[in-house]
Structure 1
Amino acid sequence: MNRTTSLHRLRSEDFDICIIGGGATGAGCALDAATRGFRTALIEQDDFGAATSGTSTKLVHGGVRYLEQAFKNFDHRQLSLVRKALHERKTLLQIAPHLVHPLALLTPCFDLFEGLYYTIGLKLYDLLAGSRRLSPSRWLSKEETLKRFPAFDRQRLHSAVLYYDGQFDDVRLNLALVQTAAAHGAVVGNHLRAERFEVDAQGRLKSVAVKDRLTGETFVIRAKVFVNATGTNADTLRKAAQTRLRPRMQASKGAHVVLPANAMPPAEAALLVPKTKDGRVLFAIPWRNHWLIGTTDTPADPHETPYLQPDEAEYLLEHVNKFLKEPVSAEQVTGGFAGLRPLLQPDQNPDLPKTETRNVIRDHEVEVDPQSKLVSIMGGKWTTYRLMAEETIDTCGAILGQSLPCRSETTSLTGSEGFTEAFRVAFRRNHPALSAEVATHLINTYGVKAEVIAVLCADEPELAEPLTARHPFIGAEVVYAVREEMAQTLADILLRRIRLGLVDWLATLEVLPGVASLMARELGWTSAEKQQEEGRFKAYMEAVIGQAGLSAPTAINKA
């Protein structure tokens, strides 16, 4: 993907569909539209996956909590959502095997009744998945449980129920969707903000004025149909197209903390905390050689910049510690993040109280404004992005008068073509200069595209050196991200392409000068531009650390 080429095409070509919003849903829409043969444009005001789609709990799942609510409240909508999500879970495992894999999870039980209750519930979860079940759930004894998760408090534990869901790297999958859409002809661009719509004599949208946030340039994109896939900001775009539309979106904040791998003994499974004092479930999940613990669910302003707060970290650690022999503490935190969920408010009457965010069903809706013909896809969850995109592009096709079949369910994503165990073995054999840790990281992050990065290392051996001794990220990834993945800022690299900014705040600040130098070389930054970009990102990271309650970077555990 080349941003300069994309900008030229966005200015000069006419499109069937222009999608605004480059998160999971927007990227999924772009891929769906492009593979059907529609002339497709995709723009994102920040970076691909920079907001909601990059701050998930990294699970591809049906939602065991939604299943419980479905039966408790006799709610067929919740049951339908679980069934759809379980179907999509298996699809993702098939089209992106390098980024999505099964994950064993343990639900601890304190007595016989809890064991029976969770066993029945998770067997129903298996039943709903049908032939797309990953592996059958099982009720484990105390000893079997401790073998899989030694950190449990033996004195309190009665047993546990083992079940399986999917785990993934959310931003890397988001990026793979964008790359695959581009490979099928979509024109994509990041850091492009939709400023205002232009309409024809009938009031129908005909173009959108777009501002390049990196250069300040404004230009126009022309399309027959526009899709609003802006998540929590969907109401802003809806109002821009039609001022009389009532607000539909709610936002809820989800926060996560990250601990080093040695914060708990090595485990063969993740932990599901089945209930909290406010009715949520939490997870403690092995992710990128760290423990990821989340998430919260609190009302939020759709336009706020979310940060991890000290009380949220305390809440998460408190609930996990109820199950652990050796409690984890805030002093062990190496990173963390927070994001906003786009929730579709079920009642449009503004005079009635809003539904509590944790009780809003995570389903979606495709809305078409009768006058402007703006198509808005609202609500939903990561796991069902493909289904949401399919329904959205079906709607666009109807507006365009072209009924073309959806192909996204069987379209392999970039990096997955030819991704097999044989590829893993061959990659390690063919590139002995790469350490085992680096080779494994490249394979699991880029799939078969790891070969491109290995070539960069062969051409410039210094690029094979780790950016920091504590992590497997290497300089070649920075170069690859700029040349092939449209990375334009330090945040694009450190928060999204390699995710270091989520898992280890201190290491992120340590590698900042080196990464900035590589980006300056690739993008032709002047010394002043490099210094400005470095200062901007450093200020952001210090704000993240400060909001989390750590007064200085040196307060972060270096483990």
Structure 2
Amino acid sequence: MTYDARFLRETQYNRLTETTEWDFIVIGGGATGLGVAVDAASRGFKTLLLEKTDFAKGTSSRSTKLVHGGVRYLAQGDIKLVYGALRERWRIFKNAPHVSRTQSFIIPCYSFIEKWKYLIGLKLYDWLAGKYSIGRSVFLSKKDAAQHLGNLKTHKLQGGVRYYDGQFDDARLAVNLAQTAMEHQACVLNHTSVTAVLKNTQGQVDGVAFVDLETDRAYQVRGRAIINATGIFVDDILSMASPKHARLVRPSQGTHVVIDRSFLPEAQDALMIPKTSDGRVLFGVPWHDYLVLGTTDTAVEEKLEEPIPLEEEIDFILSTAASYLDKAPTRADVLSTFSGLRPLAANLGKNQKTKEISRDHKLIVHDSKLITITGGKWTTYRKMAEDTVNKGIETSGLSWTECKTASLPIHGSETSITPQQERLAFYGSDAAKILALEKENPPFAERILPELPHTVAQVVWAIHVEMARTVEDVLARRLRILFLDAKLAVAAAPVVAHILATELEYDIDWEAQQVRAFEALAKGYFTSGAQKQISLSDVSH
């Protein structure tokens, strides 16, 4: 099979050397940065995106996997945020149906007051959605609520309220956004670290210096609108422009645990616990035939590329779930844990909790003309990008062009999947091409592990069409195995490393180094309880 040359790393670096000045240079390859690249490129602007590690390496791959308007923001009275998010939810369904879908949720109610409070609130949620509604909220009897969730505690249960929101695969959408940007002539590079911002004689930012982390080659590029979309690391980029700038964000950690789907055995529905002991909501969401429980909201000081779940966060999630589930998950049942860091406003009062801060986004134009976008959430990534590109046009004096992303199909946006393609449905229109790759090369049809449905062809596809460069890129964000079952991910690492080394023409030392690095990384995805039962070296060889 001949792979699409547009997605090859060599092609992207060739484009880099062919352009002397970019209209937009975007720093950061998470949801926001990728959205900006798609928006700018689809308007016809010369666009370059630089990501230090991999697309959605940080917070953007560590969400609760929900495309939602924000039920709890409605309870906080943030009507404007909810109203806008509900419309953006519909646009994700329309533009990326292969990685998103409608998901029903049930809120169990244990009192008469709860029943009516939640039903009335969710009817308002439905009303705000208007013509973009994806389902009507209804009350369920005690029998129906227990039957639909399958493992719900029924003592004092009065019934439940079912409502509808969205579910998606965050990192898969990120990869598809990178591909969409490249299809619109953007130059998109992962594993490239920005080391400095460049300024003209007037002190305005007009470019960046960066290093290709694979070759250690240094580059300098010039551009008219420089966008800082680095999430919790926005202050690091701002410091390059102004070393004395006031701190803009502080991190808040959200942790999830992944368990077997059997803990909600009958569930087509997800579980929504509307108020936990810390005042947050907790979800139990079916995802890739597993169950994701989360999240937390814990103020932390340190910004890490690989945040580690805190013991108290894991205990909190499991104990909250145990209050609602007859068969309660324990630490031994946890297959993987993961944490993400949200960028929240730094200027908190002494008594203000992170959960009370608005998740709406903020656009800031520095004196040097560096544009910083922060806050927001996955559901509103497209609107955040539109606002950012509009601001970039205004700030840099580029010619005005209308935004096109409201109805722009994302790469892979295909819903007509045949039965043979079902296991590859999240690839959308690429599913048929991966099946063809397996047929052309019978060894590619072999599974990477007997316990997993993923084939060698999927790894090869990730390398040549999805810009995966490391074992982590493949197992964490292309195939999602690390986020679902850390033990199986470690077991698959040597196989994936060998495929990478073969396809990218690396030697056996590189292959071994990749396995060691992934084993070290994966330790953070095991709970301490799980680690007592399993040795990483036992499952990796």
TM-score range relative to shorter protein: over 0.9
Cα gap change, 1:206 to 1:354, in 2 (>3 Å): farther
The one-letter code sitting in structure 1 at the alignment partner of 2:324 is: F
- Paired residues for 1:61-460 under 5 Å: 61-70=68-77, 78-301=78-301, 303-304=303-304, 305-345=306-346, 353=350, 355-370=352-367, 372-401=368-397, 402-416=399-413, 419-420=414-415, 423-425=416-418, 428=419, 431=420, 439-443=421-425, 445-460=426-441
The one-letter code sitting in structure 1 at the alignment partner of 2:56 is: G
Unaligned runs of 5+ in 1: 71-77, 432-438
User: Secondary structure of the residue that 1:377 maps to in structure 2?
Assistant: strand
Q: 1:252 and 1:287 mapped to 2: Cα distance?
A: 24
The one-letter code sitting in structure 1 at the alignment partner of 2:357 is: V
Cα gap change, 1:6 to 1:301, in 2 (>3 Å): farther
Aligned-pair distance for 1:345?
A: 4.0
Aligned-pair distance for 1:354?
A: 7.5
- Whether the 8 Å CA contact 1:546–1:552 is kept in 2: the answer is no
- Paired residues for 1:515-526 under 5 Å: 515-526=496-507
User: Secondary structure of the residue that 1:101 maps to in structure 2?
Assistant: strand
Q: Which residue is equivalent to 1:503?
A: 484
Q: 1:266 and 1:491 mapped to 2: Cα distance?
A: 33
Is 1:469 the counterpart of 2:445? The answer is no
Q: Which residue is equivalent to 2:3?
A: none
Q: 1:160 and 1:454 mapped to 2: Cα distance?
A: 42
- Whether the 8 Å CA contact 2:334–2:527 is kept in 1: the answer is no
- Whether the 8 Å CA contact 1:263–1:332 is kept in 2: the answer is no
Q: Which residue is equivalent to 1:434?
A: none
User: Secondary structure of the residue that 1:506 maps to in structure 2?
Assistant: helix
Q: 1:256 and 1:125 mapped to 2: Cα distance?
A: 25
Cα gap change, 1:195 to 1:128, in 2 (>3 Å): same
User: Secondary structure of the residue that 1:550 maps to in structure 2?
Assistant: helix
- Paired residues for 1:1-20 under 5 Å: 1-13=7-19, 14-20=21-27
User: Secondary structure of the residue that 1:218 maps to in structure 2?
Assistant: strand
How many residue pairs end up in the alignment?
A: 529
Q: 1:159 and 1:403 mapped to 2: Cα distance?
A: 54
Q: 2:81 and 2:313 mapped to 1: Cα distance?
A: 28
- Whether the 8 Å CA contact 1:345–1:355 is kept in 2: the answer is no
Q: Deviations over 1:414-443 (max 9, x none)?
A: 001xx23xx323xx3xx5xxxxxxx32201
The one-letter code sitting in structure 2 at the alignment partner of 1:293 is: L
Q: 2:454 and 2:157 mapped to 1: Cα distance?
A: 38
Aligned-pair distance for 1:465?
A: 2.0
Q: Deviations over 1:117-167 (max 9, x none)?
A: 100111111111111111100011111112211111122321100000000
Q: Which residue is equivalent to 1:435?
A: none
- Whether the 8 Å CA contact 2:179–2:411 is kept in 1: the answer is yes
Q: 1:307 and 1:225 mapped to 2: Cα distance?
A: 35
Q: 2:101 and 2:347 mapped to 1: Cα distance?
A: 33
Cα gap change, 1:467 to 1:296, in 2 (>3 Å): same
- Whether the 8 Å CA contact 1:344–1:364 is kept in 2: the answer is no
Cα gap change, 1:173 to 1:28, in 2 (>3 Å): same
- Whether the 8 Å CA contact 2:151–2:263 is kept in 1: the answer is no
Q: 2:524 and 2:137 mapped to 1: Cα distance?
A: 43
Structure 1 stretch 355-364 or stretch 257-266: which is displaced more?
257-266
Aligned-pair distance for 1:11?
A: 3.9
Q: 2:217 and 2:351 mapped to 1: Cα distance?
A: 40
Q: 1:535 and 1:388 mapped to 2: Cα distance?
A: 38
Q: 1:555 and 1:375 mapped to 2: Cα distance?
A: 43
| TM-score where L is the length of structure 1 | 0.92
Q: 1:313 and 1:353 mapped to 2: Cα distance?
A: 26
Aligned-pair distance for 1:230?
A: 0.3
Q: Which residue is equivalent to 1:36?
A: 43
Aligned-pair distance for 1:466?
A: 2.1
User: Secondary structure of the residue that 1:442 maps to in structure 2?
Assistant: helix
Q: 2:135 and 2:93 mapped to 1: Cα distance?
A: 13
Q: 2:391 and 2:536 mapped to 1: Cα distance?
A: 52
- Whether the 8 Å CA contact 1:345–1:354 is kept in 2: the answer is no
Structure 1 stretch 141-150 or stretch 176-185: which is displaced more?
141-150
Aligned-pair distance for 1:379?
A: 0.9
Aligned-pair distance for 1:215?
A: 2.2
